[in-house]
Amino acid sequence: MSSKKESGYATKGVGQPLEPFTYATPKLGVHDVRVSVTHCGVCHTDIHAIDNYYGITAYPFIPGHEIVGHVSAIGQEVSDLKIGDRVGVGWQGRSCMKCEWCLQGEEQLCIDIVQSGTWVPYGGFSSSVVVDSRFAYPLPESMPSEVAAVLMCAGITVYSPLRSYANRERQKVGIIGVGGLGHIALQFACALDYEVTAISSSPEKERQALAFGADHFMVSSDEAILQESEFSFDLLFCTASNKINWRLLLNTLKKNGSFILVGFPDVEFNSTDLVAHQLSITGSFIGNRATMREMLSFAQEHDIIPKVELMSMSEVNEAILKVKENKARYRIVLVNNSARM
């Protein structure tokens, strides 16, 4: 191979700021493509990984997994993408393709998931990423790149579980948290024909939540309202990662109801409620390849538009700080001004 170089922004250790970092262009496997990055969203998971929250971060670490760019090189056995194609890439950049989960089409549960992140070896805050072509998704032509970037992680994270529970009309769902994930969940839930209540700790989010399509709004700190709402929801969908009132929220679920976590709140609940009301608490992690393709066309058809603030990739540390301080409204996408084809 040539001695080409890529340039990105890496952190050298836990919690350290990102700094310019140059590395040899990774070689392509036979199924791989190189994607020259034009846009990359900043996700909470990037920040967790910088801080080694999951215990799997290898430094120097280049985060970034809400990627849009153009295919700039292809492996020998890639047949369905060509150089120049605009594609999106999400958190998962490959999978083993042979474990029981991959064989069932549930690649997000791949036994090798730790090695399947798009940021292995280096993520999207960079000039390019190398991923398996089967995890690079052609985008609807008219979809703006910053919209597609956010859908690649935040979009699939909320769409996949909302869709799999949408089994009849006007089921009642409470979406907990009106932030980066929540504001997209509200839009998808409305389009999937749920009756949607936005549940937020900030009363000032009401107007925006209704604008994103919520039918109702509830302040999560208002215990009286939560108590009055006993047995209201078929589904609670938690996008929040701060402390939540488990006891009162679980009481708002109908019997046989489900509480789905995509955020990481502290967990504490009384198992009696779970048993007596036959409740389920479950997690959901991104989505499989088939659902990713479906999500992109559903989002296009139903005008799902994440609210995005654009910043330059060279402002990556400022962007991360904004996300950490909860000041992003609602997602930040970094634009790579030096993108090359």
Residues 69-88: x where in contact with Zn ion by CB under 5 A, - otherwise, as a string = --------------------
Distance CA 288, CA 311 (A): 29
Among 47, 73, 83, 99, binds Zn ion (CB under 5 A): 99
The DSSP secondary-structure symbol of 133 reads G
109 binds Zn ion (CB under 5 A): no
Nearer to Zn ion, 99 or 225 (CB): 99
243 residue type, one letter: K
Among 62, 153, 196, 320, binds Zn ion (CB under 5 A): 153
Give the number of other Cβ atoms within 10 Å of residue 95's Cβ: 24
Nearer to Zn ion, 149 or 199 (CB): 149
Q: Segment contacting Zn ion (CB under 5 A): 7-15, 100-108, 207-215, 276-284?
A: 100-108
Nearer to Zn ion, 68 or 153 (CB): 153
229 binds Zn ion (CB under 5 A): no
Confirm if 287 and 311 have CB atoms less than 8 A apart.
Answer: no
Nearer to Zn ion, 184 or 236 (CB): 184
Q: Beta strand 86-89 with 137-138: parallel, antiparallel or unpaired?
A: antiparallel
244 binds Zn ion (CB under 5 A): no
299 binds Zn ion (CB under 5 A): no
Radius of gyration of the chain measured on its C-alpha atoms: 20
Q: Which residues contact 301 (CB under 8 A, 6 or more apart)?
A: none
Nearest residue to 176 (alpha-carbon basis) of 232, 225, 244, 234: 244
Nearer to Zn ion, 96 or 219 (CB): 96
Q: Segment contacting Zn ion (CB under 5 A): 30-38, 153-161, 164-172, 277-285?
A: 153-161
Let me know how many helices (H) and strands (E) the chain has, helices first: 11, 15
**Cα-Cα-Cα-Cα dihedral sign, residues 267, 268, 270, 271:** positive
Q: Segment contacting Zn ion (CB under 5 A): 32-40, 44-52, 56-64, 242-250?
A: 44-52
The count of residues interacting with Zn ion (CB under 5 A) is 8
Confirm if 223 and 198 have CB atoms less than 8 A apart.
Answer: no
95 binds Zn ion (CB under 5 A): yes
Copy the structure tokens of residue 227: 């108590």
Residues that bind Zn ion in the complex, under the rule CB under 5 A: 43, 45, 95-96, 99, 102, 110, 153
